[in-house]
């Protein structure tokens, strides 16, 4: 019997897996340079954290969570997203009693039982950032700028930013009921009618053309913002414009999680087909209280690593397959093997990437392995070289070869590779 990766999951295999690493690093770079601290939380949490934090009426909580009872009878859920966990940890560690805001970033695996398709997986990776405990439009704008900087660092040119405000506890209720009044007058199926009563904003996100056609005249949240929310939103927009970040106002932008207030945004890439969101986020001023914490206005985002790799592939970035090592050792004989083994270890300790032929292959097989490795230099050691205490250093692209004393190999290669 053989096994396959579970439906909706896949393996990152070399050399393509290098792309996932490169994306993760590049997306985390800007927040790290902005002083955000690294946080790691467990891959599973009490189920209640997500049902209360993400929202009982969301697709994530009603349909997509991997929930099970552990052997102690606790209801556990594999994390479908990172924000609720980060907020839980910040409260648990008493950080709200110290200097605020707390700025954190993270990277890891997330799990949603979604209908699998290209760009939508049941196991995926995000890089995320959260700023907890402050209400300041400059923080919303900072996060958006840092995300755009991450995409730009990867060379992506096709990322678009959609921006909206969902209002606050003061102005959202009036908008919600205006929207409900409008939606109740439409010709919709029973399930969508129920959604109007539970989560009317989500109806705006219905992708079916027959529903979208009826939504043309729907009331817009941005027409119902209170004065404070309007001013806040204008300031975020002005800061983005001032930083040279282009955005599109999208008053119909609704996110799939219930904790959002005020600023919401999504990063889209048009090369991805239906699953075009490469990242998203927003402000969540009420989340802390929803999970039993003190008032902590906060804002954050999560960027999808898998989809960002797809976006880069769609733009034809990543042309060159990365070189795996710089130097490859080719021992000709048993004694030579021991010496090369030690040399390769020394090179690695000196910060030079190196590999060697394993498995007792002949000269031909070992040289083939050297070529395949993508290395710039081969170190070839035979009996005659051993007797003279030197190794043949061969530049593989030119076949130029020189003898280098064993004791000078590391320094010589350091010089050539610097």
* Residue ranges in contact with ligand HAM by CB under 6 A: 81-83, 112, 114, 120-121, 124, 126, 128, 130, 256-257, 277-282, 284, 300-302, 304, 306-307
Residue closer to ligand HAM, measured from CB, 151 or 301: 301
Packing angle, helices 227-242 and 137-153, rounded to 10 = 30
Under DSSP, the state recorded for 186 is: S
- C-beta of 300: minimal distance to ligand HAM in Å? 3
**CA–CA gap between residue 53 and residue 288 (Å, rounded):** 8
| Whether the bond into 81 is cis, omega within 30 of 0 | no
- C-beta of 277: minimal distance to ligand HAM in Å? 4
Beta bridge partners, 379, equal 329, 393
Residue closer to ligand HAM, measured from CB, 132 or 378: 132
- C-beta of 399: minimal distance to ligand HAM in Å? 46
Closest CA to 333 of 272, 382, 398: 382
**CA–CA gap between residue 117 and residue 115 (Å, rounded):** 7
- C-beta of 220: minimal distance to ligand HAM in Å? 21
CA-based R_g, the chain, Å = 27
Residue closer to ligand HAM, measured from CB, 116 or 215: 116
3-class DSSP state for residue 348? helix
- C-beta of 291: minimal distance to ligand HAM in Å? 14
Please, which contacts does 141-145 make with residues 24 or more away whose CB atoms are closer than 8 Å? 141/236, 141/239, 141/240, 141/243, 142/34, 143/281, 143/299, 143/300, 143/301, 144/236, 144/240, 144/245, 144/247, 144/265, 144/301, 145/240, 145/243, 145/245
- C-beta of 330: minimal distance to ligand HAM in Å? 43
Contact assessment for residue 175 and residue 224, using Cβ atoms and an 8 Å cutoff: yes
- C-beta of 256: minimal distance to ligand HAM in Å? 5
- C-beta of 242: minimal distance to ligand HAM in Å? 23
**CA–CA gap between residue 296 and residue 135 (Å, rounded):** 9
- C-beta of 213: minimal distance to ligand HAM in Å? 26
Residue closer to ligand HAM, measured from CB, 18 or 114: 114
- C-beta of 212: minimal distance to ligand HAM in Å? 20
Chain centroid to CA 215: how far? Answer: 32
Residue closer to ligand HAM, measured from CB, 128 or 219: 128
Residue closer to ligand HAM, measured from CB, 206 or 395: 206
**CA–CA gap between residue 100 and residue 213 (Å, rounded):** 45
| Whether the bond into 351 is cis, omega within 30 of 0 | no
Residue closer to ligand HAM, measured from CB, 24 or 394: 24
Residue closer to ligand HAM, measured from CB, 296 or 347: 296
Residue closer to ligand HAM, measured from CB, 167 or 219: 167
Under DSSP, the state recorded for 80 is: S
3-class DSSP state for residue 33? helix
Residue closer to ligand HAM, measured from CB, 81 or 385: 81
Contact assessment for residue 220 and residue 251, using Cβ atoms and an 8 Å cutoff: yes
Residue closer to ligand HAM, measured from CB, 81 or 355: 81
Instruction: Give the CB-nearest residue to ligand HAM.
Output: 304
Contact assessment for residue 41 and residue 90, using Cβ atoms and an 8 Å cutoff: no
Within a 13 Å sphere around the CA of 196, how many CA atoms are in the beta-carbon half? Answer: 20
- C-beta of 267: minimal distance to ligand HAM in Å? 7
């Amino acid at each position: 019997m053989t096994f396959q990766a579970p439906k909706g999951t896949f393996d990152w295999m070399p050399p393509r897996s290098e792309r996932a690493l490169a994306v993760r690093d590049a997306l985390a770079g800007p927040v790290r340079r902005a002083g955000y601290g690294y946080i790691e939380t467990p891959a599973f949490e009490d189920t209640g954290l997500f049902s209360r934090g993400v929202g009982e009426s969301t697709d994530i909580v009603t349909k997509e969570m991997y929930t099970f009872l552990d052997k102690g009878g606790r209801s556990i859920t594999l994390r479908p997203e990172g924000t609720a966990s980060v907020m839980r940890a910040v409260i648990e560690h008493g950080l709200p009693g110290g200097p605020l805001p707390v700025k954190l970033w993270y990277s890891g695996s997330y799990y949603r039982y979604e209908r699998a398709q290209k760009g939508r997986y049941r196991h995926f990776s995000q890089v995320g950032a959260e700023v907890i405990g402050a209400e300041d439009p400059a923080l919303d704008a900072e996060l958006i700028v840092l995300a755009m900087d991450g995409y730009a660092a990867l060379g992506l040119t096709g990322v678009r930013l959609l921006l909206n405000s969902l209002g606050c506890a003061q102005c959202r209720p009036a908008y919600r009921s205006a929207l409900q009044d409008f939606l109740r007058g439409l010709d919709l199926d029973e399930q969508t009618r129920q959604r109007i009563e539970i989560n009317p904003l989500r109806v705006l996100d219905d992708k079916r053309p027959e529903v979208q056609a009826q939504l043309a005249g729907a009331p817009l949240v941005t027409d119902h913002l209170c004065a404070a929310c309007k001013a806040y939103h204008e300031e975020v927009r002005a800061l983005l414009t001032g930083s040279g970040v282009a955005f599109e106002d999208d008053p119909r932008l609704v996110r799939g999680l219930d904790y959002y207030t005020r600023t919401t945004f999504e990063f889209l890439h048009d090369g991805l087909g239906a699953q075009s969101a490469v990242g998203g986020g927003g402000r969540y001023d009420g989340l802390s209280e929803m999970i039993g914490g003190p008032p902590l206005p906060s804002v954050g985002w999560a960027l999808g690593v898998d989809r960002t790799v797809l976006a880069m592939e769609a733009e034809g970035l990543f042309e060159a397959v990365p070189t795996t090592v710089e130097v490859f050792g080719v021992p000709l004989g048993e004694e030579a093997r021991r010496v090369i083994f030690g040399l390769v270890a020394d090179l690695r300790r000196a910060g030079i990437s190196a590999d060697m032929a394993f498995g007792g292959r002949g000269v031909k097989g070992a040289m083939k392995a050297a070529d395949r490795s993508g290395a710039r230099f081969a170190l070839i050691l035979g009996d005659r070289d051993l007797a003279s205490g030197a190794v043949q250093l061969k530049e593989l692209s030119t076949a130029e070869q020189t003898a280098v004393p064993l004791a000078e190999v590391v320094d010589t290669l350091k010089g050539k590779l610097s």
